Amino acid sequence: MPEGDAVYRTAARLRDALDARILIRSDFRVPRYATADLTGRAVLTTLSRGKHLLTRVEGDLTLHTHLRMDGSWRIKPATAHITPPPGDQVRLILANQQWTAMGVKLGMVDLVRTGEEARVVGHLGPDLLGPDWDPDEAVRRLRAAPGRTIGEALLDQRNLAGIGTIYRAETLFLRGIWPWRKVGEIEDLNGLVSLAQRLLDANKTYAGTVTTGDRRPANQTWVYGRAGRPCRRCGTRISRGEMGAQPQERLILWCAGCQPG
């Protein structure tokens, strides 16, 4: 699933293509909004909120989308012929005279009043890449469930918005924290969430994820994508497992040497 930095970049691409331009095509391929039509309205802006996207349109309307695991926004010149690859499901098309934005395999599509955006994103915790980022509030939310594992708590978007399996694994490694450690046992939660924020911020304008400081493809991460390979620090084989209750379990990677249980 695209994490907060990737969604941030997607919002920037949508702004470049759609902001301050009048829509000449609006094609909702979602049964709930089959009759919705935004043609003739100007797009005001697109913002990211954690892993969510909010595209605000004239007339107090906001288009809320979420990429989930496989979704994407593909942007092409309006004159280009766009043929999605076989198996792709186009769920939404927005176009102006210059650009066409095609939402493929979007996990969520909602159309709400801009003044009621809280209906779709109000449950989220502080956005690691948002202007409202508040590490103290994120820590307060985490501490509300001291018996929960830190690995599960970091993925709960109600605590802080934007972390996925990549940044969870990398942040916990860099702090030397075993993923199954209880939240209440971690003294410096502020340092943990602040590190996660710095990692996402460092990658928000880069098409990739680099947590080691080395942009070479084979050297970009400490543990993620490296199961069974030696730890870059201690040489212990990187472990791979799953966390969370079924069917919500998610991939977790860690170094048993650097992150002892």
Q: Which one of 49, 51, 56, 226 is the catalytic residue?
A: 51
| Residue 2 annotated as catalytic | yes
| Phi-psi group of 162: left, alpha or beta (phi > 0 → left; psi -120 to 50 → alpha; rest → beta) | left
| Residue 187 annotated as catalytic | no
CA atoms within 13 A on the CB side of 183: 22
SS3 call for 55:
strand
| Residue 51 annotated as catalytic | yes
| Residue 29 annotated as catalytic | no
Buried b (16+ CB within 10 A) or exposed e, 113-144: eeeebeebbeebbbbbbbeebebeebbebbee
Contact 68, 106 (CB under 8 A): yes
Q: Can you state the percent helix, strand and coil of the chain, rounding each to 5?
A: 30, 25, 45
User: Cα separation of 117 and 145, whole Å?
Assistant: 27
Q: Write out the catalytic residue numbers.
A: 2-3, 51, 250
